[in-house]
Each structure stands twice: as C-alpha cells, then as structure tokens.
Amino acid sequence: MKKFVALTLSAAVLAASPLLQARELRSAGAAPEPSPWGQVTNAFVDKVAELSGGALTIKHFHASQLGDEQTTVRQVARGRLDMGFFSNTATSLLVPEFGLLASPYTFADVAQADCVADDHLLDTFGDAMDAAGVVPIAFAEIGQQIIFSKELIKSPADLAGVKIRTAPTKTDTLFMEGAGGSAVPLGTTDTMPALKTGNVSAATWPTVYGIAVGYHEVAPNVTVSNHVHQIGAVVVSKKIWDSFSEEEQGWMTEAGGVFVGLREAVRNAEGGLLKKIEGAGINVYRPNDEEMDAWRAVAPKVQPQIVAELGGASEATWAAISSAKEACAN
C-alpha cells in the first residue's frame, strides 16, 4: 500500500512539472524556410522559447505545409490553427480594409511605411482584427511589388492589351486595369502555369518571392515599378490569445519585436537578387522619372474605386492611414 501511494505521489509530481505543462503552438506560413521571412520566423520561434524558458514553444510549418494562405489564415481565425505569418493579401481576407495598405504608391518612401507600421497600424486595425478572430503580434515587411513580363513594359502605355496576372486583391487588380492592362487575378499555384501556357504574358509579384520562384525565367523582362509596398501580419488566434496568461502574452509580444529586423533583410535581398539576375542576362528595367510619373499618376485615379469596392469601413480606414502618413511626415 505504501508503495502504491508513493508511486501515485510521484506521478502527481511529474504531471505538475513545468516540462509536462509546456505548451506548444502550431504556426503556418507560405514562405520557404531559407527565405528572409522563414529565417526571421525561426528567430521568433527561438525567442519565444528563450523568454519562456521552454514553457511556451512554437512549431512553425514553412512553405505552405499546412495549406495555402487562404486556407490557413481562416483556420487561425476559427481557432483551428494557433497562429501564422501572412501576406497582406491573406490578412485582408479577414479584414478587407487591411488591403488598403497595398494601395498603389501609398507611401512616399520606406521610412514613412515603417513609421506607419510601427506607430499607427495597431490603432487602425486592432479592433477589426479582434472582431475577425485574430490578435496581431507584429506587422511585417513583405516588400516591393514589381512586374515580370515576356515583352518589356516600361510605362502604363505598354500595358495596352496585355493580360497581366495580378494578386487576387482589389488594389493590385484595379491599379493594373487603370494602367491599361487586362488584369487576371490569380493565386500562387495558378500563376506559373498561366505564364507558361500564355494565358497571361505578365505578372506582378513581390521582388524577392518572384525571383526566388523563377518568374524571371519565363517572363525575362523585369520592371522595377515598386507600385505596391506590401506589409503583412503575424497573428495569433484570439481563442488562443485569450487563453494565455499575462506572462505568456508578454513573451509573445516581446518576441514579436524580431520582425523589425525583417525590413533590412528583405530590402537587401531585393537589391541583391535584382543585381544577380541582371548579371545573368535578365533585362531588369528601372523606369525613368517620366515613366515613374506616369505609373504614379494612375494611383489617385483608381484609389476612390478601390475604397468603394473594398467597402465596409474602408473610407474611414483610408482616412486613418492618410492621417498616419501625415503624422509620420512631420
């Protein structure tokens, strides 16, 4: 009997030990592990484990191992997946107004974009994200959007009659239509086949991702239009967040600071990859001032339509973004 009691007490002690109480979260992301986004996510995972002393850990699944962004972002909102790192396109499936950040030529420069992200986005989108079932841990750099094409596109005049793949968002699609192209919204898995078969002859993609997956090989004219500066989000399911202790929430919030370092990594990668493919014979075209003025002139013409078609609280959100930009310019 004494032996039985001793074994029972030992089992109770083990069950209460920190090791067995350790909590592991499941996280999803579309970026491959070697990419800047994959590497900073690994750093975030390590930081959470360090801050919590192993009491809270994260198992992140890179390269869409748990499904595409459209699927996994909805799973996070429903509490079926704990968290994830998502592009602007995916995040805007939960909060359509978030897509306004990807409006053409929204920011004067990257410094203004960084200021808005650091100091204003939580106030602008926090409540809407909460209502959508997620809590933002960080707003993260995705990078500049450029054009890959079979025939060189220097300015909007060259888009006439061109079938161009756009991100499946109102912002990218309406901008390219306003610039004169025939926009074909396509997801990640459909774009490369469409280029190879000729269903589209051009495509817009963030610089690093587009070059990393080889769009320049099938569309060897690369126009550095930088028409969209994408900002994504790292979010936790609200159901999971509300189950955290204040200490656990603190660990996650503090660890989220590592995503600031993603900016330099992405921007360095953008410049490095463009030079690399240019050196390999790919035509990397940087529009001159007159051509850039023509690209930028399209933005104010299509912005009212973007706001109208996104609907919801888009008008108030666009006003808040505009106010944030003004504050960051001072």
Task: For the chain, give every domain's residue range.
Answer: 20-329
β 202-206/163-166 pair status: parallel
Token readout for 219 is 């569309």
In a 3-state reduction of DSSP, which class is residue 149? strand
In this prediction the pTM is: 0.89
Residue 96, φ and ψ in degrees, nearest 5? -50, -35
The DSSP element (H or E) to which 59 belongs, if any, is strand 56-61
Using alpha carbons, select from 195, 200, 120 the residue that is nearest to residue 161. Answer: 200
Out of 1.10.10.10, 3.40.50.300, 3.40.190.170, 1.10.357.10, select the CATH number for domain 20-329: 3.40.190.170
Predicted confidence pLDDT, tens digits, the chain (330 residues): 444 334 344 444 434 444 446 899 999 999 999 999 999 999 999 999 999 999 999 999 999 999 999 899 999 999 999 999 999 999 999 999 999 999 999 999 999 999 999 999 999 999 999 999 999 999 999 999 999 999 999 999 999 999 999 998 999 999 999 999 999 999 888 999 999 999 999 999 999 999 998 999 999 999 999 999 999 999 999 999 999 999 999 999 999 999 999 999 999 999 999 999 999 999 999 999 999 999 999 999 999 999 999 999 999 999 999 999 999 987
Tell me which residue of 77, 69, 129 sits closest to 98, measured CA to CA: 129
